């Protein structure tokens, strides 16, 4: 039995494929199984069925094994589709409301789910933080104080957490650091989301950034809007301006 993490890993590796290939997967496998079964019986040459004289018993014996493998693959493919529909697609729908770039939306959604799973956080919390920090979804964004990328990570923070591979502006690297930093703050705050959000925003005493104590409520608002966009299947066109 495949674990959820195993299915997610397989899903991530194949998420770059066009969705039409995902949907066709079970049918392609079913066709393969039928072809294998037919190949074990006969070969057609010029419209005449010619039985394979040599090796026919061995080929026929392998048919049930191949069919069983094809059925297992078909079942796994359906599991992958279920994970995609449940976890990745809703986040993609939200991201497309902020920036009409399907490839970027899928890349962000995959990385966000993966990193949230690694640090055992709810992905929608990280999504809401991302949408407050970088609503334009610009991986190259830099703040006036030097914070970078989707999660607006300060370069000097990298040395305080386990290293993530790649440049800080890269989607996967930035989300990796953002997830690890927030998870550390969350556990340090004893599971208090509001305190963790304030620490992520750098709002400890509230002296450096005016009104920084409102940051958690901005994140909550984004989280609520994201839930509506993702789980109500909005009819508004992708890429519509997000307030």
DSSP state of 209: S
- List pLDDT tens digits, range 61-117: 777 777 788 888 777 778 778 778 888 999 999 999 999 999 999 999 999 999 999
Residue 129 has pLDDT above 70, yes or no: yes
Q: Which pLDDT score is estimated for 30? A: 53
Q: What Rg do the C-alpha atoms of the chain give, in angstroms?
A: 24
Residue 185 has pLDDT above 90, yes or no: yes
Residue 97 CA: distances (Å) to CA of 64, 66, 70, 75, 151: 48, 44, 38, 33, 18
User: Confidence band (pLDDT; 50, 70, 90) for 45?
Assistant: very low
Which SS3 state, helix, strand or coil, does residue 143 take?
A: coil
CB burial class (10 A; 0-12, 13-18, 19+) of residue 205? exposed
Domains and CATH numbers, the chain: 4-231 (1.10.530.10)
Q: Which pLDDT score is estimated for 79? A: 78
């Amino acid at each position: 039995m495949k674990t959820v993490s195993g299915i997610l890993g397989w899903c991530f590796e194949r998420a770059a494929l066009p969705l039409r290939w995902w949907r066709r997967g079970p049918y392609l496998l079913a066709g393969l199984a039928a072809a294998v079964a037919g190949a074990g019986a006969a070969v057609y040459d010029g419209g005449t069925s010619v039985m394979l004289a040599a090796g026919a018993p061995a080929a026929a014996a392998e048919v049930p094994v191949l069919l069983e493998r094809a059925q297992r693959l078909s079942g796994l493919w359906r599991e992958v589709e279920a994970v995609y529909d449940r976890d990745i697609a809703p986040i993609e729908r939200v991201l497309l409301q902020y920036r009409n770039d399907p490839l970027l939306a899928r890349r962000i959604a995959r990385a966000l789910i993966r990193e949230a799973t690694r640090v055992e956080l709810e992905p929608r919390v990280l999504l809401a933080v991302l949408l407050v920090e970088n609503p334009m979804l610009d991986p190259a964004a830099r703040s006036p104080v030097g914070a970078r990328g989707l999660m607006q990570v300060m370069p000097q923070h990298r040395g305080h957490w386990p290293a993530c591979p790649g440049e800080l502006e890269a989607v996967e690297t930035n989300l990796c650091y953002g997830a690890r930093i927030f998870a550390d703050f969350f556990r340090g705050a004893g599971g208090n989301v509001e305190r963790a959000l304030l620490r992520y925003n750098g709002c400890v005493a509230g002296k450096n950034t005016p009104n920084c104590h409102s940051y958690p409520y901005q994140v909550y608002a984004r989280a609520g809007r994201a839930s509506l966009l993702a789980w109500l299947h909005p009819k508004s066109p992708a890429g519509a301006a997000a307030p």
